Amino acid sequence: MTMTTNNDRMMSDYLRDLEGELADLPPERRNELLADMREHIAVSRAEQAEDDEDGLRAILHRLGSPAQIADQARSDAGLPAAGTAAPVRTGHSYETVAVVLLFAGLVVPVVGGLAGLVMAWLSKVWTGHEKLLATGIAIGTGLVIGTGLVMGAAAFLVGLGSVELLLIIPIVTTSLGAPAAGLFLALRLRGR
């Protein structure tokens, strides 16, 4: 009875240490690893002729230390190894450039707005939902306002054909829509 109690305690200590080492993993991955380890240890113990301390130590030794298992799990998850800090970005200079380029769509139509949207999509600060909304704002605002302005102006301008209209609409669209997207992203950037 005492040997089983000692083995249970040794296994509990090992799993507790492992759980501590895995603290920086996402909870679902951490719980999955702990469940797999519990099951592996239980199966290995059941396969032994005797459930003694030496046998359990051998099982735990084969598994590796909790630190080794956690380092491998971090590596598999693309996280930095224990004791190394992930690079800390200060400020939002990249995102600021993206917002400025979106506003530059007023001065440099098409190119400024598109460059700003591409940079926004490459940013890790804004969520995918925010990026999608910004893209929708840029296109939607530009299309609604731009098309209305171009059509209204075309009514007053004699000789403006459909080809010219097709060339002007994207320019007006991006020059008006991109700054609206820039304003949205700038507001979302505040406080981060």
Are residues 170 and 145 part of one domain?
yes
User: Under a CB-based contact definition with an 8 Å cutoff, are residues 55 and 48 in contact?
Assistant: yes
Of 77, 111, 143, at which residue does a domain stop? 77
SS3 (DSSP) at 10: helix
In a domain, 82, yes or no: no
One domain, residues 108 and 142: yes
Using one digit for the tens of pLDDT, what is the confidence trace for 117-137? 888 888 888 888 899 988 888
CA distance 151 to 9: 79
Q: Are 116 and 102 in contact (CB under 8 A)?
A: yes
Same domain, 109 and 182: yes
Segments forming the whole domain that contains residue 51: 2-77
Tell me whether residue 168 is in a domain: yes
Say whether both 98 and 171 belong to one domain.
yes
**H or E element at residue 67:** helix 66-77
Query: What's the pLDDT at 4?
Result: 63
**Rounded CA separation 25/110 (Å):** 42
Do 56 and 116 belong to one domain? no
Q: Is the pTM of this model over 0.85?
A: no
Please give the biggest Cα pair distance in the chain.
100
Residue 87 domain flag: no
Give the residue from 75, 77, 66 showing the smallest Cα distance to 18: 66
Q: What is the pLDDT of residue 40?
A: 92
Is pLDDT of 47 > 70? Answer: yes
Whether 39 and 113 map to the same domain: the answer is no
Q: With the CA atoms of 115, 121, 124 and 125 taken in that order, what torsion angle do they form, in degrees rounded to the nearest 10?
A: 80
Structurally, how many domains does the chain consist of? 2
Where is the domain boundary, 19, 49, 77? 77
Q: What pLDDT sits at residue 163? A: 64
Contact at 8 Å (CB) between 146 and 179?
A: no
Q: How far apart are CA 188 and CA 72, in angstroms?
A: 36
Q: How much of the chain exceeds pLDDT 70, in percent?
A: 76
Asked whether residue 131 is domain-assigned, the answer is yes
Mean pLDDT, residues 159-172 taken together:
64
Looking at 49, 77, 105, which one is the last position of a domain? 77
User: Over the stretch 72-103, which tens digit does the pLDDT of each residue have?
Assistant: 988 887 777 776 655 555 567 878 888 888 88
Cα–Cα distance for residue pair 104/68, rounded to 1 Å: 51
Question: Per mean pLDDT, which range of 40-44, 58-62, 168-172 is the poorest?
Answer: 168-172
Regarding whether 185 and 97 lie in a shared domain, the answer is yes
Residues 66 and 109 in one domain: no
pLDDT digits (tens, 9 = 90+) for 132-157: 988 888 888 777 776 666 666 666 66
